[in-house]
Structure 1
Amino acid sequence: MNKQAIWFIVNPISGGKKKHQKIIQLIDSQLDKQTYSPTIYYTEYAGHATQIAAEAVNKQIPFVVAIGGDGTVNEVGKALINSKTALGIIPTGSGNGLARELEIPMKPAEAIESLNTPITKQIDVCFVNEIPFFCTAGVGFDAHCSEIFSTKKGRGLWNYVKVGFTEFWKYKPLKCIFAGNDYEVFSITFGNASQFGNDAYITPTAVLDDGFIDCTIISPPSILQALRMITQLFSGNIHSSELSENYRGTKFKLESEQDFLIHFDGEPLKMKNKKLTISILEKGLRVMI
């Protein structure tokens, strides 16, 4: 029986050194060595995961597994778009949005065990201009908090909540043009998947392989409305909010008087652009589920 090559790309920052040492030990003890021939790579700088994954595509490696959070998954996944190489995930991040959406276990031992009986499927890929994302992207308060959160040492949901609470009182609504109409919004989120991560369902009707982008627009809330929306967010019921507008399509356009700050799969990015186009590539990424 011919063994299949499988590359593991580890972000040593996400989750901590001790956790990754344990995961590597679990790979050695639990991965089916009669099926796979594994190779471990460690990223050394931003963008390194993309370079390693691109090399895997060039060498026709059938499986590449990202060990990290949503940012690492995005770095690896974007190199695999329109290739025959499948993306696997061992989640170690704060949100783990795509892993949760694909029902990959959050416990490393169970995630590794699931690799031994892989099922692959094709999912859609979305783009903000040329930037690919697999879960969500957007502008407004969430992008602002993502930028602040990226400067903090602490990770995890609780630290993100603390950033959100602190920044809520300072944040000024974003003025923009959406679908030709003037808006003043708290946030606009585009979803290929239904959630940010941590089971926070911002575009709850989104499906990874349906060929559509879901969009949720949130108007500026009062503190009481914001607290109510947090409950709605985690119950998958954000569309019931009186401050929520919801759309579905294959392309959206946004304009602003200033360069946009966006978030994509949890990562902040200051765009050098006052116009954004959100588009979709159907079945553009092969994944292990």
Structure 2
Amino acid sequence: MDVGSDLRKRFCVIHNPNAGTRGRLLFRNTVRELQRAGCHISIVDTTQHERGERIAKDAALSGQFDAIVAAGGDGTLHDVLRGIAGSNIPLGLIPSGTANIFSREIDLPTTPVALAEVLMRGPTFKVPVSVCNGHPFAFVVGVGFDAAAVQIFEKYQARRFGTFGIIATALATLWIHNEKPISIRTPQEEWVAHWVIVTRIQRFAGGLKLTPHADIKQPTFHVVSFQQRGRLRLALQLARMLFAIHGQSRNLRISVCQEVILEGSGSLPVQIDGELIGKLPLQLKFLTLQVPIITG
């Protein structure tokens, strides 16, 4: 972990305004604390993936900022990371989105005063850059059930209903999702499953610890595959995840690798960092690049 010798005072903040009340308050109050500390802040609001990426890239190349900040959820993080990959500028977070899984993973504070202090003075750690079909992503790719759940969640704007919306989405997906086989290939082995999560961190939806040995600082993927079909088996596996029952089972397989290829029907839903982008086939691997992430 690296500790910067200079105080960060110049921030480009890429903000997704589609946040709930708590997220908006955290964003506004954190920005206010930074301004009180004499920081220069340039804020750009956007909900468009390509625009967020482009703004982050231009800001990183400008030399006018000490850090680029993603203010939103994991999708905003995804866009900013894609934009700054290959530069040495630190990436900061104001976790004002719905899930904020990555910010939980690195134990960011959730109060404006503490978060502003982290952005100005917090140490950084370097994260190896992973790519999916050549495009950088932050931490997770899902094919099958979880991507179908994201589809339903977004279609019906279920974030408005909080925890109830998440539960209702899971139940609806369990009922209507059409499972299809997914071929998984690593340099060491090949197998077939009906739901695949390729992750670099321990936490999954709702902060559940799905892969307790994963480490974002390492160039490794944890390939979590659910191999048996059927709503009952899927419901049982979801219950295991909910109650943090880890490890292999007849239905669950976890493999660790540095490269993986996923193939199957192009109609299968795909989520990358919680956003519905991409489709099969997918090739995931690591580059030699690293991105500095500001942490507490």
Band of TM-score, shorter chain: 0.7 to 0.9
Unaligned runs of 5+ in 2: 1-5
Query: Closer, same or farther in 2 for the Cα pair 1:83/1:166, shift >3 Å?
Result: same
| Amino acid corresponding to residue 196 of structure 1 in structure 2 | F
2:285 aligned partner: 279
1:250 aligned partner: 258
2:118 aligned partner: 114
- Matched residue SS, 1:40: strand
TM-score by length of 1: 0.86
Question: 8 Å contact 2:131–2:286 — kept in the other structure?
Answer: yes
Question: 8 Å contact 1:124–1:134 — kept in the other structure?
Answer: no
- Identify, as 1 or 2, the structure richer in helix: 2
1:63 aligned partner: 67
Counterpart Cα distance in 1 of 2:278 and 2:226: 21
Q: Which of the numbers 137, 154, 158 marks the counterpart of 1:154?
A: 158
- Matched residue SS, 1:116: helix
Aligned-pair Cα RMSD in Å: 2.6
Counterpart Cα distance in 2 of 1:110 and 1:223: 44
Structure-to-structure mapping, 1:89-108, within 5 angstroms: 89-108=93-112
Counterpart Cα distance in 1 of 2:232 and 2:263: 30
1:5: Cα distance to partner?
Answer: 1.5
Q: Which of the numbers 174, 177, 195 marks the counterpart of 2:180?
A: 174
Query: Closer, same or farther in 2 for the Cα pair 1:175/1:212, shift >3 Å?
Result: same
| Amino acid corresponding to residue 77 of structure 1 in structure 2 | L
How many residues align? The count is 284
Question: 8 Å contact 2:69–2:91 — kept in the other structure?
Answer: yes
Query: Closer, same or farther in 2 for the Cα pair 1:50/1:231, shift >3 Å?
Result: same
Counterpart Cα distance in 2 of 1:219 and 1:22: 40
TM-score by length of 2: 0.84
Counterpart Cα distance in 2 of 1:133 and 1:120: 19
Q: For residues 162-219 of structure 1, what are the alpha-carbon distances to aligned partners after superposition, in whole Å with 9 as ceiling and x for unaligned?
A: 111112122232213222745241x101011122343122333211011111110012
| Amino acid corresponding to residue 218 of structure 2 in structure 1 | D
- Identify, as 1 or 2, the structure richer in strand: 1
- Matched residue SS, 1:83: coil
Q: For residues 202-258 of structure 1, what are the alpha-carbon distances to aligned partners after superposition, in whole Å with 9 as ceiling and x for unaligned?
A: 333211011111110012466565454334324543324431111011111122243
* 2:186 is aligned with 1:183: no
1:195 aligned partner: 203
Q: Which of the numbers 10, 15, 20 marks the counterpart of 2:20?
A: 15
Counterpart Cα distance in 2 of 1:176 and 1:2: 48
1:33: Cα distance to partner?
Answer: 2.9
| Amino acid corresponding to residue 45 of structure 2 in structure 1 | Y
Q: For residues 105-162 of structure 1, what are the alpha-carbon distances to aligned partners after superposition, in whole Å with 9 as ceiling and x for unaligned?
A: 2344432232232111111232221232212112111111112212122314431221
1:19: Cα distance to partner?
Answer: 4.8
Unaligned runs of 5+ in 1: none
Query: Closer, same or farther in 2 for the Cα pair 1:228/1:66, shift >3 Å?
Result: same
Counterpart Cα distance in 2 of 1:94 and 1:238: 25
Question: 8 Å contact 1:219–1:243 — kept in the other structure?
Answer: yes
Question: 8 Å contact 2:85–2:289 — kept in the other structure?
Answer: no
2:83 aligned partner: 79
